[in-house]
Amino acid sequence: MASSPVPADTLLQQLRHTVGDSHVLTGDTATRRFRKGYRFGEGQVLAVVRPGSLLELWRLLETVVAAGRIVILQAANTGLTGGSTPDGDDYDRQIVLISTLRLTGVQLIHDGRQVVCLPGATLDVLERQLRPLHREPHSVIGSSCIGASVLGGVCNNSGGALVRRGPAYTQLALFAQVGEDGRLRLVNHLGIALGDTPEQILGRLQAGDYSDADIVDDPALAASDPLYAQHVRDVEAPSPARFNADPARHYEAAGSAGRLCVFAVRLDTFPREDSTVFYIGSNRADDLSEIRRYLLTTFDALPISGEYIHRDAFDIGEKYGKDTFLLIDRFGTNAMPSAFALKSRIDGMCEAIGLRGVTDRIMQALMALLPSHLPKRMREYRDRFEHHLLLRVAQADAAQTDYFLKQHFAASSTGAYFQCDADEGRKAFLHRFAVAGAAVRYRDTHPGTVEDIVALDVALRRNDRDWVEQLPPQIEATLVTKLYYGHFFCHVFHQDYIVKKGNDPLAIEHAMWALLDHRGAEYPAEHNVGHLYRAKPELERFYRRLDPTNTFNPGIGQTPKGAHWHSCAEGQDVHRGG
């Protein structure tokens, strides 16, 4: 590790002076839940620091940058690719991880048609604040259940499940950036006049000390993706609808992946619609393709969401996502962040005495004692059909949708559908969410037979009719099972492969990349490259422009970890996080 003019002990004293002793965490146990990724990634840090105000955050950045250390910004640590945690211990400088969870705040502007969100604002809190106004944020399912931050979604181009809205996106943000000269600067592109100095800008923003007269509405600057709804309808296009490396959706904070320190974003909100859920099952993949293409090209209004689950994913999710399902069903999404934090602390204590995976095995044993939690008609469709599609449409479009599906399946022996009641519709989508974490639970409860997970986040071409993957026998033989699920109308799929003990997940993953390249797919689709994927050249150029000294979150996208983008060690650029 390169030497620094500021000794570590001195830097720690400076950090404690800024935020207080109790908000500077050191040592493996105290920092574990911050430096270990939700699914991938883990490494050492000098400290985890938790500022309580935007001005404290700015002063921390000044201190750490001046000391020549690395900064990793983290909100809820709910990412799937290790993009907000260290990865290994081969950095050339010590890491200070700054957790923004204490920096909560959602400010409604323009009667709630837009919001200003601070770094610790979560999707769940934003959704609840907008509900009385009959509006909702960009994303309302998935990571919002485990406390994901609004800013994290924007910085990672997160897509979400809603067909009409595309990736989280804005051109209106307030952020700190380190220039080529090594100087830290605060850039106010939020479209709100807040003063001239960091103290004025950050103090007034946190206090909400501004009026309508201070808000500038520039029609040339967007607070959401204005073209996606039209883009996703083009089912003949030979390219994906959305993917992380798409330069059309990179703009300062949007897609920055921790290469800037973002203090606030300004975003559009959307009218909340009454809706109906149709549950569709088929043994013929073309059935679902025809439904997708017809609804995207023929209906005046796009569906609200359309989530795909393969039968194997249904089964793994039913068994290994049961505790997640029941926790949310009984206690609501509010309970999820605290439950995950508690589990992480217990796991850390158990691992310290050599007991890895204890909580997962205990929870799984308890869940096995409980009866099935899924509605009867869903379980019947599981037995009948390989492919499942959860289709949510606006109430105003329900009759037209029902008519189309009735005609579509009138002469079919391969598929069927039913219109869910409110309870079935809610539980169907909750089950889809529970599927997303089920592979991790399976791995952690089968250490004797499972080597690891290969988790791919894939955007297929919009015109791809052969969306069901066919793996070569040599890859198939290395797998315990596969989980396919995703956002069907956007053709974005999450593909989790549980690898048999004794096989090399990295080699399997690289072989799968080659297959995806041959199909014209892009990956990752919506979860940031993190330390799991290699950044494509255009994405790496974007990162270098944002962060020319490689101070913020170095190494993501398997890029160099060294200062000014130098490699720290021979071969460092070809490794897999986690």
- Rounded average pLDDT over 187-192: 98
Strands 95-99 and 70-74: parallel
Contact 303, 391 (CB under 8 A): yes
- Rounded average pLDDT over 168-190: 97
pLDDT at site 143 = 43
Q: Which pLDDT band, with edges at 50, 70 and 90, does 221 fall under?
A: very high
pLDDT at site 577 = 30
Write out pLDDT tens, residues 47-89: 999 999 999 999 999 999 999 999 999 998 877 788 899 999 9
> How close are the terminal C-alpha atoms of the chain, in Å?
21
Does pLDDT of 556 surpass 90? yes
Does pLDDT of 312 surpass 50? yes
Percent of the chain clearing pLDDT 90 (strictly above):
78
Q: Which pLDDT band, with edges at 50, 70 and 90, does 37 fall under?
A: confident
Query: Torsion-angle region of residue 164: left (phi > 0), alpha (psi -120 to 50) or beta?
Result: alpha
CA–CA separation, 184 and 189 (whole Å): 16
pLDDT at site 144 = 40
CA–CA separation, 573 and 98 (whole Å): 25
Read off the DSSP letter of residue 502.
T
Mean pLDDT of the chain: 92
pLDDT at site 267 = 97
Does pLDDT of 238 surpass 50? yes
- Rounded average pLDDT over 190-206: 98
- Rounded average pLDDT over 413-439: 94
Q: Which pLDDT band, with edges at 50, 70 and 90, does 500 fall under?
A: very high
Does pLDDT of 108 surpass 50? yes
pLDDT at site 347 = 74
Lowest mean pLDDT among 186-190, 358-362, 414-418: 358-362
Lowest mean pLDDT among 186-195, 317-326, 475-484, 542-551: 317-326
Does pLDDT of 355 surpass 90? no
pLDDT at site 157 = 84
pLDDT at site 334 = 67
Q: Which pLDDT band, with edges at 50, 70 and 90, does 574 fall under?
A: very low
Amino acid letter at 495?
A: Q
Burial 135-169 (b: 16+ CB within 10 A, else e): bbbbbbbbbbbbbbbbbbbbbbbbbbbbbebbbbb
Q: Which pLDDT band, with edges at 50, 70 and 90, does 333 fall under?
A: low
Q: Could you give the dihedral angle defined by the CA atoms of residues 309, 311, 317 and 322, in that order, rounded to the nearest 10 degrees?
A: 110
Structure tokens at 550: 């490689």
Write out pLDDT tens, residues 294-307: 999 999 999 999 99
CA distances from residue 489 to 81, 236, 371, 402, 428 in whole angstroms, order as listed: 23, 13, 33, 18, 17
Question: With 0-12 CB in 10 A as exposed, 13-18 as middle and 19+ as buried, what is 428?
Answer: buried
pLDDT: is 124 or 234 the higher one? Answer: 234
Q: What are residue 470's phi and psi, to 5 degrees? A: -120, 110
CA–CA separation, 442 and 319 (whole Å): 9
- Rounded average pLDDT over 517-526: 93
Does pLDDT of 571 surpass 70? no
pLDDT at site 573 = 38
pLDDT at site 570 = 42
Does pLDDT of 576 surpass 60? no
Read off the DSSP letter of residue 111.
G
- Rounded average pLDDT over 373-379: 97
Which run of H or E residues covers position 115? strand 114-117
pLDDT at site 387 = 98
pLDDT: is 425 or 346 the higher one? Answer: 425
